Structure 1
Amino acid sequence: MSKNIAHKLGQGIAPQDFIDGMTVNRDKLTNWYDRFVWDEDKKAAFQQLRNRRDLRCAIIASDWCGDVVRNLPVVLRVVEEAGIPTEIFIMEKDLDLIDQFLTMGGRAIPKVLFTDQDGNVLAEWGPRPAYVQEPMVRFKQDNPDPKAPDYDEKKTAAYEEILKRYGKGTDYQKLIVDELYSLLSAV
């Protein structure tokens, strides 16, 4: 069954209002945004989407989240280039929304939802590029019992591997661009 978020559309905030309202991590987020560099072929491909008047983007985010800080700037660059109207929902204020789009049973953000004009969800992305997310997927599969004595230790190791996969530079951003391109090409 496809999901519909028509009842939420128009209730979010503009991306710049989200950034302006950040109480933590604003400098880090804007730094990742400013460091973004387009591959010209991908930029041109996203510009082709400007003819699609039916697409909308709803992003669930919070300023405290490291994945939002790293990944939201890339998503914003993509939707800006594609001309897709975008609004952001603060997770803590919109639990009913995030609870429809859990990641492996958890509230993981950012969650990016592409919809049509009627609010039908056509595609979703997040919270991380697949390559970066893979250690968490493996951790969740291999450690189903949060009460296990070594659960926290293994979870910490998964997060360390995630940080290693993000790396220090902007290479991970290309993964997001490619994944969003694949998603949007299919809708």
Structure 2
Amino acid sequence: MSINLAEKLRKGLKPQQFIDSMEKNQEQFLSWYNGFEWDNEDDKAFFESLNNRDDLRCLIIGADWCGDVVRNIPVVFRALENSGVPVEVFIMEQHLDFIDQFLTFGGRSIPVVLFTDTGGFVLGQWGPRPEHVQAVMKKFKAENPDRQAPDYDDNMKVTRAEMMRQYGEGRGYQAHIVKELRELISTF
């Protein structure tokens, strides 16, 4: 059965409200946001073509303290800002019931980007990070199932460093997010 989020529609923060409410990492968030550039005109045209649809909504679960939110949500905002798709942000700590419906590897990983229809039925989900970066965490979780293991924290540090390496120095990772969002939206 599909999850219905009708009770969440129109209850979140608009993108600018989220940015304005940030108490941490706002400068870095805005740096990624303002530095966004379309990788190709086809992607830009695809997202603009969503204006022809009025059946989509985007709900994002996030928080300003999370590095993946700070790095990835500016791309989601920019990709959708001329799409006509209403976007809302829900602060994870204020919506634990919400995040607990969308756990990643059994944990509260953010951001969670959800696309619903106008009735609130979830059509698709993206996050918390681009697939090639998330693959590093997936491998870590498979190889380190015991959080109490003596080498767990050391292995996590190595994994986080590799994830940062996968993100890369510049904005190249942003094109991966746009591609993944486009592929996801194209399925519904």
Q: TM range, normalised to the smaller chain?
A: over 0.9
* Amino acid of the structure 2 residue aligned with 1:171: G
CA deviation after TM superposition for structure 1 residue 125, in Å: 0.4
SS of 2:7's partner is: coil
CA distance in 2, matches of 1:47, 1:17: 22
Shift of 1:144: 0.7
Q: Which amino acid aligns with 1:179?
A: E
1:125 aligns with 2:104: no
- Which whole-Å CA distance do the structure 2 matches of 1:50 and 1:132 have between them? 30
Match of 1:156 in 2: 157
Residue 16 of structure 2 is matched in structure 1 by 16
Superposition pairs of residues 25-64 of structure 1, within 5 angstroms: 25-38=25-38, 39-64=40-65
Q: How far, CA to CA, are the matches of 2:160 and 2:70 in structure 1?
A: 16
Does residue 171 of the first structure (1) align with residue 179 of the second (2)? no
Moved over 6 A (4+): none
Q: Which residue of the partner structure matches residue 85 of structure 1?
A: 86
What's the secondary structure of 1:82's corresponding residue?
A: coil
Unaligned 5+ runs, structure 1: none
What secondary structure sits across from 1:89 in the alignment? Answer: strand
Shift of 1:81: 2.5
Instruction: Tell me the secondary structure at the aligned position of residue 109 of structure 1.
Output: coil
User: Number of residues paired by the alignment?
Assistant: 187
Alignment-derived partner of residue 137 in structure 2 = 136
Which amino acid letter does the alignment assign opposite residue 141 of structure 2? K
Is it true that 1:65 corresponds to 2:66 in the alignment? yes
Give 1:146's aligned residue. Answer: 147
Identity within the alignment, %:
56
Farther-moved stretch of structure 1 (164-173 vs 79-88): 79-88
Tell me how far 1:54 sits from its aligned partner: 0.6
Partner of 1:58: helix, strand, or coil?
A: strand
Q: Give secondary structure in 2 for the equivalent of 1:122.
A: strand
Measure, in 1, the Cα distance between the counterparts of 2:23 and 2:152. 32
Letter in 1 for 2:183: S
SS at match of 1:81: coil
* Equivalent residue, structure 1, for 2:7: 7
TM-score w.r.t. length of structure 1 = 0.98
* Deviation (angstroms), 1:82: 1.6
